Structure 1
């Protein structure tokens, strides 16, 4: 088993459960663009990190250290984690993103950063396929 840490290019989660479901066509298209962008970011970062391909299993967790101290619900970060996991599957980390290949851990919210700037990162623990 190997654990990788990937720093993400976001200061706040780009997708959350807050804000409700978009109801207009332009709002739905904007959200779809945002999801595609996060997926593409994950695939690009996986490539630059030289993550392995077609591992037997991966355990993935999103981490967020906000810039301010206030109450936050970890479950609100799941749309960001979902798009990132989809991007890792697009890259080829795993064959599929169902429970046979991926364990999604609840996102973790850490104490605020000392820099005043938020930070997000992924931890990915891979289990190689048996030879």
Structure 2
């Protein structure tokens, strides 16, 4: 994991991107894990996001995007990282960035898989304040 970059948009709104060095999603809709094993991963992801988001101010409404950068063009289902996205969003709520991860407070975009030749596979989770 690397440090994230915080910026203020032209409208003075908060935006930051968290980078994770995962080669594949820690949770996927295709994984067939025992419920206790899955619960441990969810807890770990929520705790990780909570720790990384401690510096993020309390915001009224945000949008989030999860992008998985891959180095080859193998077929991957865009919706598989949704389980990882959900756990990260729950971690933002745990960190009290927003009161809840419902539509009222958080707009979640479908995860994206982006091919970049020669890149080191990783994930970027972007949080952007909405006006």
The TM-score normalised by the length of structure 2 is: 0.83
Q: Which residue in 2 is equivalent to 1:87?
A: 91
Q: Which has the higher contact order (CA 8 A, sep 6+)?
A: 1
What is aligned with 2:122? 119
| CA distance in 2: counterparts of 1:35 and 1:73, whole angstroms | 20
SS of equivalent to 1:92: coil
Q: Which structure has more strand as a fraction of its residues?
A: 2
SS at match of 2:126: strand
In structure 1, stretches of 5+ residues that fail to align are none
Shift of 1:19: 2.9
Judging changes above 3 Å, is the alpha-carbon distance between structure 1 residues 34 and 113 closer, same or farther for their aligned structure 2 residues? Answer: farther
| Structure number having the greater helix percentage | 1
In structure 2, runs of 5+ residues without a counterpart are: 1-12
- Give the equivalent residue in structure 2 for 1:33: 40
Give me the TM-score of the superposition, normalised by structure 1: 0.83
Structure 1 segments (4+ residues) deviating >4 Å: none
